[in-house]
Structure 1
Amino acid sequence: MQALISGRKIEDDSRKDAILEVVSDKYGRAILEKTMGKPKSAIEISAETKIQISTVYRRLQ
């Protein structure tokens, strides 16, 4: 995760808050980990992480 954002300064407070909200949530972190290498569908994410599909959809919104 650090390599992904290193070198980028985020000025917008609402964007900072959104990023912090995602990484502070265990489901958000799991989804990020599974999708950093390549894009995946919600069904793939759910199957790989054992997170309920409805939760995956909510986090992806």
Structure 2
Amino acid sequence: MKWVDIQEIAMALTETHPEIDPQYVRFTDLHRWVTELAGFADDPQRSSEKILEAIQAAWIEDSDY
């Protein structure tokens, strides 16, 4: 997975953090959780606020909160 794989990352976050309501996640935590995902293989420094916002929005949609 790379930062551009927004939907795949969101689905993986839903699976690995089912107890979390993604609308209340801080970007610092989100960044860490994404980089810790199995299969994530991108430069952690390549993320941006825009990418994290897109991941969070997709995660909210995927998690059905």
Tell me the TM-score normalized by structure 1.
0.37
**Structure of higher RCO (CA pairs closer than 8 Å, 6+ residues apart):** 2
Tell me the TM-score normalized by structure 2.
0.36
* Higher gyration radius (CA): 1
